[in-house]
């Protein structure tokens, strides 16, 4: 769901010169989801979701402070036990070194098209809470981000970004980890009608524990023999273990390098952007929790981030302003995922040395925003999405689609 778009558009409706601002946004959505758990079973459900954001910003002479609290509740109908709640708190402080950046002599906000030297710090903490039957999903995370952007010529800028993160899975501690990613970006000035640039990043993921619960997990599927009947007519059957499969549990972590070329063209309120990127893992050993029912439509696989695979990706975003201020947004992507983990059948027996996924995704988002009063706005949105994940791993070979309607209200005030 693109609730962030609703938030940004609603805030734009009320943008005025101010030193301190307070905003409140809340939305509710209801939709039909075919296969919201993203696995081979492809069972459907109806989902109700709520989203709330409280924001505060304070502008100083040459800097700005932003605070936000975001929470979301997901309620399933058929899979009621999968209901969960997640929330996070974010603080961001940005410093501009150009004295004329924030305000001109008439105290009007000046555009940042020239990309003055800008230093940004951000801290974020958050967690997810599931019902007791799915408490393995419960987690707590924190991250710190620092960005420095400056012009290297009249037309091009350079940006350094470093993101350090920590994630604690209280009930599956073997997956708790720390990450650090350094990204270097070069591009042309953002006020141009055609923007382009390059991202080069490198990072690592390190697992904080190497000891795992052997009563709960095993490295590869094991079997036991059970006998049925008595005497000569008795038969023996092979029964697979019901333990989870944890690949490379002793691996301490992995590294990854990413190259990303981006291009964006703007005309009026419309835009089109395309990214071409490739992920490369020089150290391919990574912990991997196979065949685990840990996915939802919103967060997908919380135990399977981009460090788990390498390969290429192409993604595009198209935004078009239509009649009556209706906005259309279309996202398309195609991705190759090469895992350093075996492909398994549904029993858990290895069928190939490497899991390979080809993933196609599309999402259409149509929204309309209404200014109800000087400080109050409403947004209505209809969204629909489709994903096809073709995989040689039986559990992860699936398709899914959804359609959802959401209504949100935003309140904005200055003081």
- 48: nearest Cα among 77, 84, 85, 78: 77
Mean pLDDT score of the chain, rounded to an integer?
86
In the predicted structure, residue 317 carries a pLDDT above the cut 80: yes
CB atoms within 10 A of CB 28: 15
pLDDT in tens, 63-104: 899 999 999 999 999 999 999 999 999 999 999 887 544 433
For residue 360, what are the contacts with CB-CB under 8 A and spacing of at least 6? Answer: 333, 334, 335, 387, 388
CA triplet 79, 85, 89: central angle to 5 degrees?
160
pLDDT in tens, 208-236: 988 888 888 888 888 787 776 665 555 67
In the predicted structure, residue 179 carries a pLDDT above the cut 80: yes
Using DSSP's 3-state secondary structure scheme, residue 328 falls into strand
Task: Please state the rounded mean pLDDT for residues 271-297.
Answer: 81
- 156: nearest Cα among 193, 118, 114: 114
pLDDT in tens, 291-310: 776 555 455 557 778 888 99
Give the span between the Cα atoms of 73 and 56, in whole angstroms: 22
In the predicted structure, residue 365 carries a pLDDT above the cut 70: yes
Say if residues 280 and 318 touch (Cβ distance below 8 Å). no
For residue 84, what are the contacts with CB-CB under 8 A and spacing of at least 6? Answer: 73, 74, 128, 129, 130, 131, 134, 137, 296
**Which one has a higher pLDDT value, 311 or 220?**
311
pLDDT in tens, 41-71: 999 999 999 999 999 999 888 889 999 999 9
């Amino acid at each position: 769901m693109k609730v962030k778009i609703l938030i940004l558009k609603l805030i734009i409706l009320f943008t005025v010169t101010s030193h301190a601002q307070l905003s409140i946004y809340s939305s509710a959505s209801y939709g039909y989801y075919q296969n919201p758990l993203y696995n081979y079973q492809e069972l459907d459900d109806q989902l109700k979701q709520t989203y709330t954001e409280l924001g505060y910003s304070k502008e100083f002479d040459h800097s700005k402070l932003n605070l936000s609290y975001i929470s979301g509740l997901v309620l399933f109908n058929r899979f009621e036990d999968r209901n969960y709640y997640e929330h996070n708190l974010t603080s961001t402080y940005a410093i501009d070194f150009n004295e004329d950046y924030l305000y001109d002599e008439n105290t009007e906000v000046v555009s940042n098209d020239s990309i003055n030297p800008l230093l940004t710090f951000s801290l974020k903490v958050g967690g997810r809470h599931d019902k007791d039957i799915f408490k393995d999903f419960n987690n707590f995370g924190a991250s710190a981000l620092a960005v420095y952007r400056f012009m290297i010529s009249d037309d091009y800028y350079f940006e350094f970004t470093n993101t350090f993160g920590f994630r604690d899975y209280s009930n599956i501690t073997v997956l708790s980890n720390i990450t650090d990613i350094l990204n270097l970006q070069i591009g042309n000035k953002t006020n141009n009608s055609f923007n382009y640039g390059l991202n080069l990043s490198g990072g690592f993921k390190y697992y904080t524990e190497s000891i795992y619960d052997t009563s709960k997990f095993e490295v590869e599927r094991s079997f036991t023999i059970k006998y049925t009947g008595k005497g000569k007519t008795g038969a023996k059957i092979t029964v697979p273990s019901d333990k989870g499969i944890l690949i490379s549990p002793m691996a301490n972590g992995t590294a990854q390098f990413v190259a990303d070329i981006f291009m964006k063209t703007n005309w009026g309120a419309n835009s089109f952007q395309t990214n071409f990127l490739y992920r490369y893992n020089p150290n391919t050993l990574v912990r991997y929790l196979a065949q685990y029912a840990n996915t939802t439509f919103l967060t997908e696989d919380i135990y399977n981030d981009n460090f788990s695979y390498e390969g290429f990706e192409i993604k595009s975003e198209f935004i078009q302003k239509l009649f009556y201020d209706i906005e259309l947004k279309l996202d398309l992507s195609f991705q190759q995922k090469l895992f350093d983990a075996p492909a398994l059948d549904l029993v858990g027996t290895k069928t190939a040395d490497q899991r390979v996924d080809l993933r196609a995704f599309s999402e259409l988002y149509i929204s309309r925003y209404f200014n109800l009063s000087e400080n109050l706005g409403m947004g209505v949105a209809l969204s629909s999405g489709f994903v096809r994940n073709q995989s040689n791993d039986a559990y992860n070979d699936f398709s899914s689609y959804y359609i959802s309607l959401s209504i949100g209200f935003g309140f904005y005030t200055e003081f």
